[in-house]
Amino acid sequence: MSKKGGFLTPKAIANRIKAKGLQKLRWYCQMCQKQCRDENGFKCHTMSESHQRQLLLFAERPDQFLDTFSKEFEDGYLEVLKRRFGTKRVHCNIVYQEYIADREHVHMNSTQWETLTEFVKHLGKDGSCVVDETEKGWFVQYIDRDPETIRRQEALKSKEKMELDDEEKVARFIQKQIERAAETEKEQPKSEYTELKRESEEEKVAFNLAAMKKSEGKSAVKSLPSMNALKAEEKKHAPTTSKDSLKSTSTAGQKRKNALDEIMEFEEQKKEKMNRKDYWLHKGIVVKVVTKKLGDKFYKKKGVVKEVVDQYAGVIKMLDSGDKVKVDQAHVETVIPAIGKSVLVVNGAYRGSEATLLSINEKKFSCSIKIVAGPLKGREVDGVQYEDVSKLHLAS
């Protein structure tokens, strides 16, 4: 007696392997939650009695079923976006591909949205996400409204603000110390050294070696017949301070200077680490278009950033034509003006500070600037990279 079919037959195994993968969306029945592998199977399913019963139920309350499927689809999509990407900006299709990887997901053809673009626009209008359109497509960024998350973000912002306030206080204190040291140096009289002269060539200078031995290395006693003459000569030409006092003063000043330099260097490194970001677009700066994807009309042309969108993109107004274009920061670069013109620090330790361009080092692709506003007004900074500063459009 032979069995017609079984669980371990080749056909049954092949059917289970095929059922594991994703099938075509058009052969899926959301009401029955049944996936068919081909057109013939889907046709047979639509003619079945169970499918007809589900259609009758749907015909009685179509809006209720449509709203339910739409809500489940939206919740599932947002759950993947929140759990997988958090509040990062990501392409909408990447999230969708991860969502449909689950065979039991709610299919889009059973919702009120016909395309993914319409669904993304709905998320933006609903306030669930921040959405924006680029030449690469639609991007979404989840807005986390969880009270605990909001509380942590507010605490983090307040902490950063306190650190910035402390940095400004330290910067003002260091500046005062530098100014005070400069004033003290100006007030100190300058010492003049003169040549030691003898009144007569016959006078000799002698040292008492026996006294030096008795003092065990201490300063020897100078007993000379002509010592009075030497003292008188020293009184005529000696400065107000001795060599030893000048040496100790200069050494102490050098130590104090080194300590200030170390403090300033540490604060510079701390500010550089805190203010160095992977986005740099700022409103009011002049940038140059470096991509041909926008057309030859805008290639190598300059524009002013009128609006920053989601930190990584911006709306620029072309200087020559007046056209407004939305670009990604990867498609533009900073502009270095002539010496003496105004610039804005777009990245690094002095991010957001207005400055004046002092000089340009073409070999090192860097420049020197002078801060003109804020608590650090008047500070000169060397070695600023080209990509960290950009021309400031004063008329914007």
CATH number at residue 318: 2.30.30.30
How many domains does the chain divide into?
3
Q: Are residues 155 and 52 in the same domain?
A: no
The fraction of the chain above a pLDDT of 90, given in percent, is 15
Say if residue 119 is in the same domain as residue 159.
no
User: Is 361 in contact with 367 (CB distance < 8 Å)?
Assistant: yes
- Residues 137 and 155 both lie in one domain: no
Mean pLDDT of the chain: 78
Separation CA 373–CA 355 (nearest Å): 7
pLDDT, position 333: 92
**Has residue 248 got a pLDDT over 60?**
no
Residues 320-340: tens digit of each pLDDT: 888 888 888 889 999 999 999
At 369 the pLDDT is: 92
Q: How many residues does the chain have?
A: 396
Note down the domain range covering 374: 286-391
Least confident of 6-15, 85-94, 208-217, 263-272: 208-217
| CA distances for 352 relative to 48, 251, 276, angstroms | 68, 39, 11
Question: In a 3-state reduction of DSSP, which class is residue 354?
Answer: strand
The answer to the question of residue 195 being in a domain is: no
Cβ contact 273:251 at 8 Å: no
What are the DSSP E strand ranges found in the chain?
28-29, 34-35, 89-91, 129-134, 137-142, 286-289, 302-309, 313-318, 324-328, 332-334, 342-345, 354-361, 366-371, 380-385, 389-391
pTM, two decimals, is 0.37
Question: Which of 2-11, 106-115, 130-139 has the weakest average pLDDT?
Answer: 2-11
Q: How are beta strands 137-142 and 302-309 bridged, if at all?
A: unpaired
Query: Which of the residue ranges 25-34, 237-246, 297-306, 321-330 would you say has the lowest mean pLDDT?
Result: 237-246
> Could you give the CA distance from residue 233 to residue 203 in angstroms, rounded to a whole number?
14
- Inter-residue contact 393 to 359 (CB < 8 Å): no
Is residue 204 assigned to a domain? no
163 and 108 within one domain: no
Same domain for 266 and 358, yes or no, is no
Q: Do 112 and 61 share a domain, yes or no?
A: yes
pLDDT level of residue 224 (50, 70, 90 thresholds) = very low
What does the pLDDT average to over 362-368? Answer: 89
Region 186-198: what's the mean pLDDT? Answer: 65
